[in-house]
Amino acid sequence: MSGGVATETSPTPAQSDVAEPTPWWRSAVTYQLYIRSFADGNGDGLGDIAGIRSRLPYLAALGVDAVWVNPWYPSPQADGGYDVADYSDIDPAFGTLAEAQELLDEAHALGLKVILDIVPNHTSDEHAWFRAALAAGPGSPERERYIFRPGKGPDGALPPNNWRAVFGGPAWEQVVEPDGTPGEWYLHLFDPKQPDLNWDDPAVRTEFLDILRFWFDRGADGFRIDVAHGLVKDSTLPDLADDQDHVLGATGREDHPHWDLPGVHDIYRGWRTLAEQYDPPKVYVAEAWVFNAARLAAYLRPDELHTAFDFDFVRAPWDAAQLRATAASSLAAHDAVGAPVMWVLSNHDITRHVTRLGRPQLAAGEAGLHGVHGTVDLELGRRRARAALLLELALPGGVYLYQGEELGLEEVEDLPEELLQDPTWERSGRTERGRDGCRVPLPWAEEGLSLGFGGTAPWLPQPAGWAALSVQAQEHDPASMLSFYRRALRLRRDVPGLGAGDGTSVTWLDLGPDVVAFRREPGFACVVNLGATAVDLPDGEVIVSSDPALDHASRAGGTLSLPTDNAVWLHLT
């Protein structure tokens, strides 16, 4: 077990003169483990802890600093584990608490930090708290833990307001009372199997601090906070106006009654206090879909959360002006609160970026996250994905990678309808396929019924083309995506000027309207060409390029040009 509660020590004068080392999380590269789909150790078709443990050496060799494990708690799996039935145990399908402890210890022994996933906005309807709330009836302290209200209309047969669930349909579900009569309604911003907790109830606040402590004491280095912007609701439960979206987006309004209310910040101040009681302190990363970079930065004030995913970068289309503006505004907003930006290109909720970047690019906005428009050019998407990786790894801050992006996996858009599991599919009346296409189990080997994932039939089928994208197929090929990721990650550690730093460590270079280029000291430059023609590079030596033809090239005398949809790191001369 690592870490413990810090003891009070007052620094001697000599110690206080020594500069504090930069905390690991300010520049870490973290690999997201979608446990259901990473590796299957027991051969039942579903990924598990044993699978992760068997692949830890792969992750260490890839060159990441940390892993984030998606929810692994007991769960009916109505939403891929984001419907938690018990926060202090492990789902038997994934393993045991003892195995979780082994994983934590083994990861630490390899120098990897471990971030877990906490789901505080809602529980499963099969959680003991919700079962007790149903049994105890209206007006009970058990019901106070959730958001129960009488219905509207003469018989209370209409939902309390017009809020919509993220997965589709109304955000309210009516219950049958213990005496068999139709009764109150409960709020669920996601699936009906995910009742929202009432964070005005002090019991909820205490219970979550206990849960955090439970995992911190076992060595977890931090938590990713699910729907961090959703915990507090306007208790008057007003109807949503016509122009208030159910998910906050760049086009949304700022005055939402259930997203990003000021009250959430109090909760996180308490969580930060707990994190600081450990030595070294524990760390948080927020998943918060908020109105703009300034609203996100409000979560990162010094007494709140350490980091948050930067989704503005994900939402930006492949367009130089927009990528540069987005990066600059994120850096500025984070600098204002002294927090590092966490760059992201993909996760388990978003169409894989090889596919996103291979589609015709739309204007800024969320359409790109789940877009199905146009035809996909995967070769183009993979070329841009390499360039995008060099861009995000060169910017100051941390980076989150989503499992399989190092293999160049694409979104699987033709899964048979009868296999779709994302609740979005049913809740949208089978109009939106949802997020299963980015959750298909990883290919580890060129052969076998599950391409080395484990067992015979993975829970979602892998495309035939993934044999050629498997780890086995790529690991000894110097031109593969996997080799490119390994090289870029190693160089990010070794090249001076990369990693930590804030927005002031970036000097934007003007190499034309279709180029994103910046300099960091000492003498480093990153250049990304998003235009239709090649771009002349400044004098320098190539450190690494998304175009292998440029690797190890230098502009000795002649010109060096960067082809379209490529990026390069340079030592400026």
194 is written with which tokens?
């995910």
Paired with 5 in beta bridges are: 278
Q: Give the chain's end-to-end CA distance (angstroms, integer).
A: 48
Shortest gap between Cβ of 351 and ligand TEU (angstroms)? 9
Dihedral sign, CA of 271, 273, 275, 277?
A: negative
Burial level of 497, CB count in 10 A (0-12/13-18/19+)?
middle
225 is written with which tokens?
């906070």
Is beta strand 342-344 parallel, antiparallel or unpaired with respect to 398-402?
Answer: parallel
**Residue 190 or residue 216: which is nearer to ligand TEU going by CB?**
190
Q: How many CB atoms lie within 10 A of CB 544?
A: 22
Q: Check binding of 247 to ligand TEU (CB under 6 A).
A: yes
- Binding segment toward ligand TEU, per CB under 6 A, in 152-160, 344-352, 399-407, 561-569: 344-352
**How far apart (Å, rounded) are the C-alpha atoms in residues 524 and 570?**
6
Q: Check binding of 227 to ligand TEU (CB under 6 A).
A: yes
- Binding segment toward ligand TEU, per CB under 6 A, in 100-108, 255-263, 299-307, 343-351: 343-351
Shortest gap between Cβ of 287 and ligand TEU (angstroms)? 6
CB 484 within 8 A of CB 546: yes
**Residue 289 or residue 518: which is nearer to ligand TEU going by CB?**
289
Nearest-CA neighbor of 392 among 480, 499, 319? Answer: 499
Shortest gap between Cβ of 190 and ligand TEU (angstroms)? 4
Q: How many CB atoms lie within 10 A of CB 499?
A: 24
287 assigned to active site:
yes
Residue 440, CA atoms < 13 Å, CB-side half-sphere = 28
Shortest gap between Cβ of 447 and ligand TEU (angstroms)? 32
Q: Check binding of 166 to ligand TEU (CB under 6 A).
A: yes
Q: Which of 40, 221, 287, 436 is flagged as catalytic?
A: 287
Which x/- pattern over 432-471 shows residues binding ligand TEU (rule: CB under 6 A)? ----------------------------------------
Q: Look up residue 186 and give its amino acid.
A: Y
Paired with 518 in beta bridges are: 508, 526
Q: Check binding of 530 to ligand TEU (CB under 6 A).
A: no
- Binding segment toward ligand TEU, per CB under 6 A, in 206-214, 342-350, 439-447, 561-569: 342-350
Q: What is the DSSP string of 210-269?
A: HHHHHHHHTT--EEEETTTT-S---TT-PPPPTT--SS--TTS-S--SSSS-TTHHHHHH
**How far apart (Å, rounded) are the C-alpha atoms in residues 567 and 563?**
8
**Residue 136 or residue 369: which is nearer to ligand TEU going by CB?**
369
CB 475 within 8 A of CB 444: no
Q: Is 318 helix (H, G, I), strand (E, B) or coil?
A: coil
Shortest gap between Cβ of 120 and ligand TEU (angstroms)? 10
Q: Is 385 helix (H, G, I), strand (E, B) or coil?
A: helix
Compute CA distances 572 → 40, 462, 550, 554, whole Å.
46, 44, 15, 10
Q: Check binding of 82 to ligand TEU (CB under 6 A).
A: yes
Q: How many CB atoms lie within 10 A of CB 140?
A: 13
Shortest gap between Cβ of 25 and ligand TEU (angstroms)? 20
Q: Check binding of 289 to ligand TEU (CB under 6 A).
A: yes
Q: Check binding of 226 to ligand TEU (CB under 6 A).
A: yes
**Residue 268 or residue 524: which is nearer to ligand TEU going by CB?**
268
**Residue 63 or residue 71: which is nearer to ligand TEU going by CB?**
71
- The footprint of ligand TEU on residues 60-79 (CB under 6 A) is 79
CB 101 within 8 A of CB 72: no
Measured N-to-C along each axis, helices 264-275 and 202-217 cross at an angle, to the nearest 10 degrees, of 30
447 assigned to active site:
no
Q: Check binding of 349 to ligand TEU (CB under 6 A).
A: yes
Q: Check binding of 211 to ligand TEU (CB under 6 A).
A: no
Q: Which of 48, 226, 310, 411 is flagged as catalytic?
A: 226
Shortest gap between Cβ of 484 and ligand TEU (angstroms)? 27
**How far apart (Å, rounded) are the C-alpha atoms in residues 116 and 301?**
22
- Binding segment toward ligand TEU, per CB under 6 A, in 14-22, 27-35, 347-355, 513-521: 347-355
Q: Check binding of 288 to ligand TEU (CB under 6 A).
A: no
Contacts of 203 (CB under 8 A, 6+ apart): 141, 144, 145
CB 181 within 8 A of CB 243: no
Q: What is the DSSP string of 539-550?
A: SEEEEEESSGGG
Which x/- pattern over 29-58 shows residues binding ligand TEU (rule: CB under 6 A)? ------------------------------
- Binding segment toward ligand TEU, per CB under 6 A, in 89-97, 101-109, 345-353, 556-564: 345-353
Q: Check binding of 345 to ligand TEU (CB under 6 A).
A: no
- Binding segment toward ligand TEU, per CB under 6 A, in 291-299, 317-325, 346-354, 555-563: 346-354
Query: Among residues 350, 409, 440, 489, which is the contact residue for ligand TEU, using CB under 6 A?
Result: 350
CB 51 within 8 A of CB 98: no
Helices (H), 336-377: 353-358, 367-370
Number of residues that bind ligand TEU (CB under 6 A): 14
Q: Is 419 helix (H, G, I), strand (E, B) or coil?
A: helix
Query: Among residues 60, 336, 369, 491, which is the contact residue for ligand TEU, using CB under 6 A?
Result: 369
Which x/- pattern over 110-129 shows residues binding ligand TEU (rule: CB under 6 A)? ---------x----------
Query: Among residues 38, 72, 186, 190, which is the contact residue for ligand TEU, using CB under 6 A?
Result: 190
Contacting residues toward ligand TEU, per CB under 6 A: 79, 82, 119, 166, 190, 226-227, 247, 287, 289, 348-350, 369
Q: Active-site residue numbers? A: 226, 287
